[in-house]
Amino acid sequence: MTEILSQPQEQQAQAAQQPEAQSVAQEQQGTAVRRSRRSDGRRGGGRDGNAAKPAQAAQPQQAQRPANPLLEQLAQWYPALFGEQLLPFKRGIFEDLLAAHPELDKDALKTALQQHTRSGRYLAAMASGQQRHDLSGRPVEATLPEHVHHALIEVFRRRQQRTQEDLTPKLRNRIALAYEASGLSREEYAERVLGKNEATNTLVAQALAEADARAAKDEALLRSFELSGQTSEQEFAEMYGMNPRQVVQQLERARRRQQKNQ
């Protein structure tokens, strides 16, 4: 939040019609300006008054990291992986790139890939849970739940540094969704993602508990729908005074879980 510091307004003396009066007014104005400058210098801690800045003054922007020429070249060769819309790439992509381009310097390629995978855009792609892709842009393997989780934590950590809004509820919901998408049991998922950070572990435990409670409600609603004899989800929702859209979403989630468990 940038504050714009206002400059002291200069007092303008009104010149009289007589030349003598105009000269006196101008001399008084010059004296006032000199006094104002000396006063500003004392308050600012220096002659120019700019040595000390208010605590809430805008901080200078950090210089952006210069573009990596090799990453720009990779974006031209493989736009699906390194272009505007990023995709998670398969493990072993380093070896694949060296095999496809033996002229590349290994250390330069390693540095470029490290910079790429630490970028916010790539972490966001990983956090979405998309599959990993090969050089041709084809999905070839699933992204492990722990990799999705670690990307989520880092993405939200960076976002939290840029806002005063508490993003914890949103992160907790994203963890719950990632857990549901993993198809793992609560114990299996926790074993993969829990680490040394106790605050994060507490957040994970809360997210998993919320997800399990939501799943139980979805399954109970599905049983009620099946026992009601209704064939229309809309009529079933209206019969019990529920939100039709929410009912449809809950029933769909419950059916997907049933299919996974079969």
pLDDT in tens, 155-193: 999 999 999 999 999 999 999 999 999 989 999 999 999
Provide the mean pLDDT of the chain: 80
Provide the pLDDT for residue 16.
Answer: 36
Query: Do residue 128 and residue 163 come from a single domain?
Result: no
Provide the pLDDT for residue 65.
Answer: 55
Query: Do residue 251 and residue 190 come from a single domain?
Result: yes
184 inside domain:
yes
Domain boundary among 143, 172, 201: 143
Question: How sure is the predictor about 85, in pLDDT bands with cuts at 50, 70 and 90?
Answer: confident
- Number of domains the chain contains: 2
Query: Do residue 182 and residue 101 come from a single domain?
Result: no
Query: Do residue 173 and residue 129 come from a single domain?
Result: no
248 inside domain:
yes
- Asked if residue 152 has pLDDT above 80, the reply is yes
Domain boundary among 90, 109, 143: 143
**What's the CATH number where 115 sits?**
1.10.1710.10
Query: Do residue 114 and residue 183 come from a single domain?
Result: no
- Asked if residue 138 has pLDDT above 80, the reply is yes
- Asked if residue 61 has pLDDT above 70, the reply is no
Domain that holds residue 183: 158-261
Domain boundary among 114, 143, 172: 143
Query: Do residue 198 and residue 233 come from a single domain?
Result: yes
Q: Which of 42-56, 184-198, 206-220, 241-255 has the lowest mean pLDDT?
A: 42-56
pTM across the whole model = 0.68
Question: How sure is the predictor about 213, in pLDDT bands with cuts at 50, 70 and 90?
Answer: very high
83 inside domain:
yes
* β partners of residue 139: 133
End-to-end CA distance of the chain: 53
Query: Do residue 248 and residue 164 come from a single domain?
Result: yes
- Asked if residue 38 has pLDDT above 80, the reply is no
